[in-house]
Every structure is written in structure tokens, then in C-alpha cells.
Structure 1
Amino acid sequence: MTTDELSAPLGRKPVRKRKFRLPFSATQTLATAFTLFLGVFGYYAIFTENPLGGEPVARLTIQPDQLAAPASPPDGKDKEKDKAAAASEAAKAPPADPAGQRTVTIIDGSSGARKQVVVPSEAPEDKAGAEQAPSGAVNPKLLEQTRHGAVPIAADGLKPFTAYAAASEVDRERVASVPTIAIVVGGLGVGAAKTNDAIMKLPAAVTLAFTPYGADAAKLVERARAQRHEVLLQVPMEPFEYPDSDPGPQTLLTSVSAEQNLDRLYWHLSRFQGYVGIMNFMGARFVTTDTALSPVMREAAKRGLGYLDDGTSPRSVAAALAAGQTVPYGKADVSIDAVPTALEIDRALGRLEALARENGNAIGTASALPISIERISQWAKTLQNRGLALVPLTTAMLKSKSG
């Protein structure tokens, strides 16, 4: 029993002192403060004009006597003073930027400190094709407008096959008596990183084949041609397993009319420009059907394009149709990365060498796998020492025709 209970009157309970409490909780206080902050911030954001959006601002005070006044003709002494002042200012001025560079002033937002930084005036990869050899340019005379856009056309005795070829007649004469190998790396244009690796890491003599489905295929093709690669367009064609195995939109089919297939072909031809020819993408059924492939081959002849058969269909009629239309033709002898391991790729490259020595010429195809790019690049470095030459596809096609 406490002292308070002993001193309290009988029959009455002691009165406990009540603790003082705020009429609101800490959570309510924080919520109210946050609401007030948002209200003030919103007011200034909506009703206060600040066109610079918080950027650093420098304020200068100009006195009335600093305003420009009509200049009086300077006398001799004034001229000397002006020359001395100009020389002094020139000495203080920063040196001119080197060619291809520019100086940027960076201002620290908190301290206001300034720092001069020299940067390239233009990223090298953005200049691809802009100041390179003329091989990166597309000849407007070799274009015809369709409802899908511009497509290649032969005109005035000039053909895209020769106009966009990477090798000259002199280059072809140099390798006339040497066993030659052409390699075509396909599946490019979808995936910029993969495509850029192929463009920059593979030797220039390797021909690059682009699908028509890339989001920025035209720019990548321009970059490839600026690096002296020849370019092919891969045209999706019907395989035996279609539609379970579908090459993509606008696939050329054996079940539609020739007019429909030509319209689809124009869609593919218009995706980008600067290619020397076309090759089948899949298409095991299509390339074995004479009535389906004949209009395509006639169109290739009309437009001055070559045709590469990927070699996957032994019953392909492409060779006979190309000969009938005098279309430059080639057929792949070896699929280099059918088994995508370093060992098997090296073996496939060895088979290409053997075929080139036996026949004077051989053509291989590959996809843009990192391992394929790496092995082909390493193999090509020592090819000349073994008495062979890596050549663009057009050179191989013309050599096969002449042989």
C-alpha cells in the first residue's frame, strides 16, 4: 500500500495525475509538414517563371559608359594602341582546336568552377561512310521507285553487281591464277552489336549478307560498305516445313501468284540499297520449284543483281535459271559453322582451302556467331602465306563464270 492510499479519506480512491499529451501524433506532424512542402513547391513550379530551369546563371552589370558609342576615326597613336591590345588579347585567347576536335566548357552546378575539356567533334562510328571511299555511296541512277520505295535497277549499261563490287578489274586480274576463297557471313541487320562486330572484326574481303527485317538496316549496310565489305540481300523463301518453319513476313511462296511474289520481292529489295545481289534465306521448297523461282531470276537479271545459292538444297534449279538469264551466279560449297565449335569451324575452313586448290575457287557461308567471327578472322591472317587469296563474292562469281 502506498503513502497516498494511507492518507486518502476512507471510501475514496486516490486521484491519479494525468500525463500531458499533444493533440496530434508525430506521424500526423510529418504528414502535415510534407503536405505544406508539396504545396509550396507546386506554387513555385506553376506560378514562378524560370525559363532556364535551374541552369547556372551569370549576371553582368553594364555601366552606361560601357555602351558602344559611335567610333571616331582613329589616329596613328590609337591604331598602335589597338594593335597592341589585339596582340594582347590574341596571346590570352585559347589555342585553336585541333582538326576533328572541339573544346567544351563544363561548369560545376554547385561550385561554379569551370573546366575545359577537349572532345572529338564527331564520333568515328557516326562518320562511317560520310568521308570514306566512294564505295559507301549509292548511285541514284541505279534506283527505281516502286510503291514500297526505291529498288535497284540496271541503267545505262551499269549494274549494281559491278557498281557496288568491292574489287576492281585490276584486283581480279591479280588473283586470276591464285586459288581463291569467298566467305559470306549472313543473318546481319537484326542486332546492331552483332552486326557491328562482323563489320569491324572480319576482313574487308568477307561479304556480308543482311536480312530485310532490321530496324536500322540501311545505316548498318552503309557502315559495312564504308569498311569495304560487299553486301548481299537475303530474301526469305518458302521451306518445306512452312508454315511451321516461317522465314518471316513477305516470304516468297510457291502457293501464290508470280505477281504476288514479285510485289513481296520489291518489298525486300526496298529495305536498303548498295547490295551486289540476293541470296535465298531458307527456301528449300521455293528454290526447287521452277515456276516460282523463274520470275525472281528474271527480275534479278533486269535489275543487274547477282544470285547466291546457299547450297542447302541439292535439287535447287537456281544454277540453270541463272545461266538462262545470264545472272552472275555462285553456290556455297561449305557451311562453315554448321557445327559452331572452334574445332569444327577450323575443319570447315580447311575443307574450303582444299576445294579452292582443287577447283581454283570456293565459296563458304557462315552466321555471325562470335566464335565464327573470331575463327574466320584468325584463319584469314595466314591465308596468303599458304598460297590462297580471300576475295569478295563478286570476284569469286566472275572467276567461276570465266572458268
Structure 2
Amino acid sequence: MTETADDLSTPLGQDKPRRKRRLRLPFTAMQLLAVLLGLFLVTFAGFAIFNKDPLGGEPMTRIAIREPKATEEKPAASGHGSEIKPDSKHETKEAPKQAAPGEQKTVTMIDGLTGARHDVVIGAGEASDKGEAASAPPVMAGIDPKLLEKSRYGMIPAVAGDLKSFNVYAADADRAKAAKMPVVAIVIGGLGVGAAKTTDAIMKLPPAVTLAFTPYGADPGKLAERARAQRHEIFLQIPMEPYDFPDNDPGPQTLLTSLSPDQNMDRLYWHLSRMQGYAGLANFMGARFIATEPAMQPIIREAAKRGLGFFDDGSSPRSIAPQATASASMPFGKGDIAIDAVPTPTEIDRALNKLESTARERGVAVGTASALPVSIDRVSAWTKTLGDRGILLVPLTTAMLKSKSS
């Protein structure tokens, strides 16, 4: 009825306006979005499966090394056979020369999570491809060869009759005087990585301050030798697993609770071979490892068997080191106060005053610090007047022996 009326009312000669038809797609917007998302997932999965980059896009350098021919006398001027393909963030450099037998190379190891860099020397101390022991680096000056034993990584401590590293490499001290008055020991840790800060600690601090070296750095053995030449007592810090590992990574060859005792022992030997002349071991980080008895006990027994002492920096309240060292009849010491937990002059001075009070109360107190410039300056100034206040500064080994006898 309505259409008839519209037709009658339409003027002659004019067509009736037609209704516009809406364009309808054969699918909805949600269906289109689902298809696009599916295509993206399929593409991503295909890239992940068939991509040959195992590092997932991490910057990578490729080095082509050519075996030198016997008839060659000079390297090719154009550098053929020695090529580096850098990424967009790296400059092109010549390929490093292959290390000759017994020669050492420095390799920078980068923690992929934190970006921290560690220079590690390899070559002379590493085992050969055939599983034979590599030639050991030269023995440091002042080291008793009877107290060394050859391992697959190099020379490590050993016991020779009644001779033990803890006694032979302990710094000189007036132990008779130390038995009669309060004593304080200071341990500066984290040395060996960074020659400048290590040298500052060696030269600016009095000989009675004990220096603890990590096994990393370009040549920690030379710096340790220099420290001993300045009459400092040295300890070797062993990287151990913290609770937040691997977000917080001590470095290569870290002792881990997830490894077997044999695997951790092999890593321990690598650390022990990095330098010589240390009186004992200390934990480097390691709150989880030092609190895990099945992992820690074999390490303590091995260190005791090799005539070493053990120093617990006191950072882990759950440490089983006191019980483990007691059962192994091993010299033991523990840090009482972290001097530079807050690295400002005022807070460091406050911590040193607290260390004095602890020494007067207990007879022995041990403070720990890192090699920060402010820490070295404040400790150096504090030690100059310590004797006037009736307290004796002693090496760590002397404090450990006094704690055992008291």
C-alpha cells in the first residue's frame, strides 16, 4: 500500500529514488583480528624453529682462523684468512692471534643478564684438548714449591709434612702482644679485578691489613705477588652461589648447589690455580652455597686437606662454615662488621668505631670492606691512631688463632 502511494505521488518523468545497499563483508572484525593474530604466531614460531642463531640476536662476532702453512714467512697484507664480521654496534678489529703452547690469552666474559665484564686469562692454565695437564704458569716469588701440587689447571696448594699454607703464608705479627690486648683485623675484598684500585689498596693500607683476591682479572697472580712483596697477607675469594643467582652472578666457574660435588671440586681447582701464596679461602658472595651443607662440606674438607684456613665474611646468617670447619679441625674466622655497607665517610667512621667497641668487648673483632677509594682512605686514616687507643691491628690469621684460643 505504501509503495503504491509513493508511485502515485512521484512526479511524471522522475524515477523513484533507490535505497542504497550497505556493503557487507563476509567476515566480522573479530574474525579478521583472529586471523591476523594467527598469522603472526605462525610466523614467529617458524622463525624460532628454523632460525639458526642460537644466541637469539645477541651481538656476535665471527672469526675465521686459517692454519699457517709451513712455507709462509709473512702474513698476507690484505688480511685474508683472518676476518671479523661485526654487528652494527662494533668496530672491525684484527682477529686475535692464536696462543702458542704455554702462552696466555685474556678473554672478556660478559654476563648476559647484568652486562658485567670479567677478564679471564686462559691458555697456560687450561687443560689440553687431549685431556693432558697443561704447562703450569711460573711459580710466584717467595712461594715454597713443596707446598704446591700439579692439577689439570696448574699448581694448587698442598701440605708438606707439618708445613701448611695457613702457617707459612701468614703475615708476621706480634702474637704474644696480641694475646694480651684487644685486636682488630681488617679484610679488604674484591681485589684482582681492576689494577688501579688493587694497587691503591696494596700501597696505601698498612701491611697488617689482609687483602682478599678474586680469581678474575687479567693477571691476579701478579697483583697478589705485589701484595705479598708489601708484606700483606692474602686470601683467595671463591665465587659461590647467592640466593638470587643467576640474576646476581659472581662470575665464571661459580660453585653452585645444583652441581655435583665432583663438578664443584673441578671448579674449585680452577680457582685455586689462579694465584699462589694465600693463607686461606674466603667466600665471594655465596649466601645460598655457604648455607647448604651437602654442597659446602666437600669444599671445606678439601681446603682443610690442603692446609688452608677459611674466612666467612659474615654476610649469611645461615652459614654452616663454623660447624664444617670445626669438624675438619680447620682455622676459621668470621667477619663481624661490614665497614662500608653504606659507603660514605661518616658511616664508615661510625662502623670503625663500632668495630673498636666490639674488640674491647670480645677481645677480637674483624671488619670487612671493599676497595672503594673512600673505604681505603678512611681505613688508612683510622689505623694510624688505633694503637693510641689501646687496640692492636693484626693480620686476619692472627685474629683467627686468637679467636680459637679464647
TM range (shorter): 0.5 to 0.7
The one-character-per-residue Cα deviations of 1:342-398 (angstroms, maximum 9, x if unpaired) are 000000000100000000000000000000000000000000000000000000000
Match of 2:396 among 348, 371, 393: 393
Give the partner amino acid of 2:218: A
The residue number in structure 2 matching 1:321 is 324
Could you tell me how far 1:146 is from its partner in structure 2? 0.4
Correspondence 1:203-352 to 2 at 5 A: 203-352=206-355
Question: Larger radius of gyration, structure 1 or 2?
Answer: 1
The one-character-per-residue Cα deviations of 1:264-322 (angstroms, maximum 9, x if unpaired) are 00000000000000000010100110000000000111010010001011010000000
The one-character-per-residue Cα deviations of 1:90-118 (angstroms, maximum 9, x if unpaired) are xxxxxxxxxxxxxxxxxxxxxxxxxxxxx
The residue number in structure 2 matching 1:156 is 161
CA distance in 2, matches of 1:244, 1:191: 23
Secondary structure at the aligned position of 2:232 is classed as coil
CA distance in 2, matches of 1:353, 1:217: 32
Secondary structure at the aligned position of 1:308 is classed as strand
CA distance in 1, matches of 2:384, 2:319: 34
CA distance in 2, matches of 1:231, 1:157: 21
The residue number in structure 2 matching 1:109 is none
Could you tell me how far 1:211 is from its partner in structure 2? 0.5
The residue number in structure 2 matching 1:362 is 365
What is the percentage of aligned positions where both structures have the same residue?
66
- State whether residues 184 and 208 of structure 1, in contact with CA within 8 Å, keep that contact through their aligned partners in structure 2: yes
CA distance in 2, matches of 1:256, 1:223: 35
Give the partner amino acid of 2:155: A
> Where does structure 1 differ by over 3 angstroms across 4 or more consecutive aligned residues?
none
Secondary structure at the aligned position of 1:256 is classed as coil
- State whether residues 184 and 366 of structure 1, in contact with CA within 8 Å, keep that contact through their aligned partners in structure 2: yes
Could you tell me how far 1:231 is from its partner in structure 2? 0.2
Secondary structure at the aligned position of 1:200 is classed as helix
In terms of fraction of residues, the more helix-rich structure is 1
Could you tell me how far 1:155 is from its partner in structure 2? 1.1
Correspondence 1:28-39 to 2 at 5 A: none
Match of 1:189 among 176, 189, 192: 192
Correspondence 1:43-82 to 2 at 5 A: none
- State whether residues 164 and 275 of structure 1, in contact with CA within 8 Å, keep that contact through their aligned partners in structure 2: yes
The one-character-per-residue Cα deviations of 1:159-210 (angstroms, maximum 9, x if unpaired) are 0000001125xx1112111100000001111111111000000011000000
Correspondence 1:37-186 to 2 at 5 A: 137-168=142-173, 171-186=174-189
CA distance in 2, matches of 1:249, 1:357: 40
Tell me, which stretches of 5 or more residues in structure 2 are unaligned? 1-139
CA distance in 2, matches of 1:155, 1:212: 24
- The alignment yields a C-alpha RMSD, in angstroms, of 1.0
CA distance in 1, matches of 2:379, 2:352: 8
- State whether residues 148 and 266 of structure 1, in contact with CA within 8 Å, keep that contact through their aligned partners in structure 2: yes
The residue number in structure 1 matching 2:89 is none
Match of 1:381 among 376, 379, 384: 384
Give the partner amino acid of 1:196: T
CA distance in 1, matches of 2:141, 2:351: 32
CA distance in 1, matches of 2:160, 2:292: 30
- State whether residues 136 and 225 of structure 1, in contact with CA within 8 Å, keep that contact through their aligned partners in structure 2: no
Could you tell me how far 1:249 is from its partner in structure 2? 0.5
- State whether residues 144 and 151 of structure 1, in contact with CA within 8 Å, keep that contact through their aligned partners in structure 2: yes
Give the partner amino acid of 2:398: T
How many residue pairs match? The answer is: 267
CA distance in 1, matches of 2:158, 2:183: 29
CA distance in 2, matches of 1:136, 1:227: 13
The one-character-per-residue Cα deviations of 1:88-147 (angstroms, maximum 9, x if unpaired) are xxxxxxxxxxxxxxxxxxxxxxxxxxxxxxxxxxxxxxxxxxxxxxx9601100000000
CA distance in 1, matches of 2:286, 2:273: 20
CA distance in 2, matches of 1:182, 1:167: 13
